[in-house]
Amino acid sequence: MKLLFLGLGLLKAIAAEYTQVHIALAGDDGRGNSNGMAVSWQTEEDTQATVVKYGLSSDDMPMVETGTSSTYYSTWDHHTVLADLAPDTKYFYAVGDGETFSETFQFTTSPEGGESVTFAVWGDLGLVNGDSTREYLEENKEDIDLIFHLGDVGYADDSFLHLGCLFRFCYEEKFNEYMESMEPIVSEIPYHVMPGNHEADCHDPACLLSAERRDKLSNFTAYNSRFRMPSEESGGVMNMWHSFNYGPVHFVALDLETGFPGAAEEKRYVLKCGGFGDQLTWLREDLEEAVKHREERPWIVLGGHHPMYNGGMVDPKMAAAIEPLLAEFGVDVFFTGHVHSYERDWPVFNSTTVVKSYSNPGIPTHVMIGGPGNDEMRDAQRRMEELLEEHPGLDPSRVSTQAWYDSLVEVNSDMIAVTDFTHFGIGIVHADMESFKMQYVQTTSGEVFDEFTLTK
Ligand SMILES: *[C@@H]1O[C@H](CO)[C@@H](O)[C@H](O)[C@H]1NC(C)=O
Ligand SMILES: *[C@@H]1O[C@H](CO)[C@@H](O)[C@H](O)[C@H]1NC(C)=O
């Protein structure tokens, strides 16, 4: 029995040598389009080299690129940037150490100009309760070009809530498991992330009692080490903030945790964090550049973790820091998460609904998509379902909660167009030069629960 176990363990170790493969857009063709791809993965030990072999067919991968490896705690993160790729082209690739390689994966590079694109958008996806969303994405991955994940990437810091992990150190293991669960999707679709509060630190008993873990796993360190966003290309900072262009869209990924005065974790979450630099000056410069290219890329989309508007309330510090820029540069959509539900607002500015239409509103539409499924969600949803049963007169697309799900209320803010508190869901956006259409899909059924189309 023991031998059998050993044998199985060994097999698993060999097969799983290169794990958590994921990609993100990289490079710049000189006209603002990404012309490269960052390929990232993990190994348990460092390897003799960090190598991606790639080519235009799965039987012929003659090109080779080397990258770098680093460790922040125990496992090794590998990042390699494949540069100067042809636009809108399918490539095949495998990752490895130059001698042995993983299975073969594939991706398609960025379109060259304003071709229409489809991207998926959500915040707050975890290992637990995330299966319906992962299954939906796997089934539909042919139709999704890019993923924009609005922070809270895996919920590793909730690992102590998992069976057997209350006092055992599980943070790294759960982060690995989340990334493994995403590999079939994000090894093929560029996965763009931004920080959420759950990326800030490891704070379970096994972490807080260890000076080494407190030191190595605070200040967004695991998150910044595991990904390679195009911040070098866009003048951003680590994986905290960056921007990129894709088809007719300029995407900006923001740090709404530490990146403005009065941000929720500006100086500390459980442990000290923050101090990544002057995001607001960068944002102004980035938007100044983006509006120069509006003819080529009509849509400017911002994403961040914490909502500016939610339930008819405003985050006054965030609004003071960021809202004037949204108006000045005509940002089209502001996507956020953090609250584990869906809320689409009407175009709102200065806490006032400006117009109840998406036809060239001139000010941003705020959409919160924080309920794709995570460790903290299912119990809250069950409570909402019970409340809806107790109040059969309420319209489920027009409800909100009060005092942590103790009571249910009809939304009475005229800022809010539609809500969904009881399903797991994500946004699927189809953008072309004329229109920006978002569908909110409930991933358990695949049904479109809500949609809106922005036009210029
Ligand atoms: C967090 O990391 C950034 C970037 O390395 C650094 O500038 C900042 O001082 C760190 N903050 C803390 C509290 O250690
Ligand atoms: C925002 O609204 C407040 C009160 O409703 C008003 O005093 C202020 O001038 C408005 N600010 C802008 C920039 O419109």
| Residue pLDDT, tens place only, 152-178 | 999 999 998 888 898 899 999 999 999
Tell me whether residue 9 is in a domain: no
Q: Read off the pLDDT band of 180 (50, 70, 90).
A: very high
Closest ligand to residue 328's CA: 2
Residue 240 lies in a domain: yes
Q: Whose CA is nearest to atom 13 of ligand 1?
A: 273
For residue 11, tell me if it sits in a domain.
Answer: no
Domain enclosing residue 346, as ranges: 113-455
Q: What is the mean pLDDT of the chain?
A: 93
Q: Is the CB of 276 under 6 A from ligand 1?
A: yes
Predicted confidence (pLDDT) per residue in 65-84, tens digit: 999 999 999 999 999 999 99
User: Whole-angstrom Cα distance, residue 265 to residue 379?
Assistant: 26
For residues 53 and 192, membership in a common domain is answered with no
pTM score: 0.95
Residue 4 lies in a domain: no
Q: Residue 403 pLDDT more than 70?
A: no
Report if residue 384 sits inside a domain: yes
The whole-angstrom separation of Cα 104 and Cα 11 is 19
pLDDT at position 406 is 65
Q: Do 335 and 404 fall within a single domain? A: yes
* Same domain, residue pair 293 and 188: yes
The total domain count for the chain is 2
Whose atoms come closest to the Cα of 224: which ligand? 1
- Regarding whether 129 and 91 lie in a shared domain, the answer is no
Q: Stretch 437-456: mean pLDDT, rounded?
A: 97
Q: Report the sign of the C-alpha dihedral through residues 328, 331, 337, 339, in that order.
A: positive
Is 400 found in the same domain as 343? yes
In terms of domains, do 368 and 448 share one? Answer: yes
Statement to judge: residues 104 and 130 lie in one domain: no
Cα radius of gyration rounded to whole Å, the chain: 22
- Residue 141: HSE in the Cβ half-sphere, 13 Å Cα cutoff: 19
Give residue 45's pLDDT band: very low, low, confident or very high (50, 70, 90).
very high
Residues 328 and 220 grouped into a single domain: yes
Domain match, 263 and 329 both: yes
Q: How many CB atoms lie within 10 A of CB 108?
A: 16
Is the distance from the beta carbon of residue 275 to the nearest atom of ligand 1 less than 6 Å? Answer: yes
Q: What is the CATH number of the domain that holds 93?
A: 2.60.40.380
Q: Are residues 45 and 125 in the same domain?
A: no
In a domain, 65, yes or no: yes
Give the Cα separation of 331 and 365 in Å (integer).
9
pLDDT at 405: 60
Domain CATH for 226: 3.60.21.10
Which ligand 1 atom is the nearest neighbour of the CA of 275? 8
Q: How far is the CA of 319 from the centre of ligand 2 (A)?
A: 12
Q: How far apart are CA 43 and CA 46, in angstroms?
A: 7
Query: Do the domain assignments include residue 34?
Result: yes
Nearest to 286 by CA among 328, 314, 247, 248: 328
Query: Given ligand 1 and candidates 215, 216, 219, 223, which is best to mutate, with the most ligand atoms within 8 Å of its CB?
Result: 219
For a substitution probing ligand 1, which of 276, 278, 279 has the most ligand atoms within 8 Å of its CB? 276
